[in-house]
Amino acid sequence: MKNDKITVGLLGAGRIGQEHAKNLAAFPQVEVAVVCDPRIEAAEAIRPLVRAREVTAFPEQVVSRNDVDAVVICTPTDTHAALIEAAAETGKAIFCEKPVALDLTRTQQALATVAKKGVAFQIGFQRRFDSGYAEAKRRVVAGVLGRLDQFRTVGRDPAPPPKEYLAKSGGLFLDQTIHEFDIARFLMGDVTEVNAWGAVRFHPDASEFGDIDTATTLLRFASGALGVVENSRRAVYGYDMVTEVFGENGKLVVQAEPKTPLRHYHRDGYKLDHYHFFMDRFGPAFRAELQAFFDSVANGTPPSPGPVDALESLRIAIAATRSLKENRAVKLTEI
């Protein structure tokens, strides 16, 4: 790092890339050298915000540069593994949006390169950095709940993704539930068995790809505790994310309180608003995860969530997909 600054290449200027750009702009220890997107005008649009010196349409030009210390990968999923490997080869610290890849082998390959090169690697499970989840984790670790016995989380998106996205998503468990599986591991530890039930309730596109739009999935944890994850691709009231950890001494509920601190009392009672999507619910968490990544890079400590977290959440998602297909409980040891 020159001048005590971390020089960064931002790969991908789509929705998530733009979110990360806002935060990169505000970190004094970070200097964005280049923004990359094949749609060069998207890269240009971000450029002034992050005060980038250059833009490019070619990610390989970014990962091969010597004057870049770290990359933030926000490109489409099917490009992640190759970019991770190229960046690792040139010794860059890597922040990558989830998932590394949609299949286990490709994921393991890419992470093997990361391990071999010993570069810092962080996967984009931003929820871990939300003040509610982070505080829940601290209390769990501090033993406030004692033995943990049950876990429940719900993950509902406001609306299904576009058809083209769905086609390449890997299915609901790999695309959406993988976030819930990560939070389950974060708060409860390793998962040993899953039993997934799913259905197509409202979204014909899902059927077309052999996918589902609704799922309720049992989890068994290595500790013996039981869990459940509920998912839907559509919730008219917005983004639904409530997590409950139940244990010997009580329970913790991470619950999205109203987005706006306003209660409106009217003729029929009172009403509050609700978060619309993960971008407004987890805005501060996106900032905090990047901050943690750059702090790790600056301090030379391994970032978290790291390669194991990227891999394990994928294994659970694959097990859930198999459970649904084969209509039976699937042990993680099978994956």
Residues 172-191, interacting with a copy of itself (CB under 8 A): none
Residues 201-220, interacting with a copy of itself (CB under 8 A): 201-202, 214-216, 218, 220
**Interface pick for a copy of itself out of 60, 67, 78, 257 (rule CB under 8 A):** 257
**Interface pick for a copy of itself out of 80, 156, 179, 185 (rule CB under 8 A):** 156
Angle at 288 between CA 87 and CA 260, to 5 degrees: 135
Of 94 and 206, CB closest to a copy of itself: 206
- 242 contacts: CB under 8 Å, gap ≥ 6: 153, 154, 253, 254, 255, 256
User: What angle, 0 to 180 degrees and rounded to 10, lies between the N-to-C axes of helices 178-188 and 131-141?
Assistant: 30
Phi first, then psi, for residue 115 (nearest 5°) are -65, -45
d(CA 156, CA 177) in angstroms, rounded, equals: 9
**Interface pick for a copy of itself out of 152, 179, 185, 315 (rule CB under 8 A):** 152
Q: Which two tokens stand for residue 75?
A: 């490109």
Q: What's the min distance (Å) between Cβ of 84 and a copy of itself? A: 28
Residues 23-52, interacting with a copy of itself (CB under 8 A): 25-26, 28, 48-49, 51
Q: Which two tokens stand for residue 2?
A: 């020159």
Residue 112 near a copy of itself by CB under 8 A: no
**Interface pick for a copy of itself out of 299, 328, 331, 334 (rule CB under 8 A):** 328
Of 218 and 335, CB closest to a copy of itself: 218
Handedness of CA 44, 45, 46, 47 (dihedral sign): positive
Size of the site for a copy of itself (CB under 8 A): 74
d(CA 178, CA 194) in angstroms, rounded, equals: 13
d(CA 117, CA 251) in angstroms, rounded, equals: 42
Of 210 and 261, CB closest to a copy of itself: 261
Of 20 and 80, CB closest to a copy of itself: 20
Residue 154 near a copy of itself by CB under 8 A: yes
**Interface pick for a copy of itself out of 256, 314, 317, 320 (rule CB under 8 A):** 256
Binding mask 72-101 for a copy of itself (x = CB under 8 A): ------------------------------
Q: Which two tokens stand for residue 210?
A: 């052999």
Residue 254 near a copy of itself by CB under 8 A: yes
d(CA 319, CA 273) in angstroms, rounded, equals: 36
**Interface pick for a copy of itself out of 116, 264, 325, 331 (rule CB under 8 A):** 264
Of 25 and 82, CB closest to a copy of itself: 25
Buried b vs exposed e over 10-22: b needs ≥16 C-beta within 10 Å? bbbbeebbbbbbe
Q: What's the min distance (Å) between Cβ of 260 and a copy of itself? A: 5
- Could you tell me the CA-to-CA distances from 225 to 29, 110, 133, 138, 247 in Å, in that order? 42, 32, 19, 19, 9
β-strands 93-96, 6-11: how paired?
Answer: unpaired
Residues 220-239, interacting with a copy of itself (CB under 8 A): 220, 224-228, 230, 232, 235-238
Of 110 and 252, CB closest to a copy of itself: 252
d(CA 107, CA 38) in angstroms, rounded, equals: 24
Q: What's the min distance (Å) between Cβ of 112 and a copy of itself? A: 35
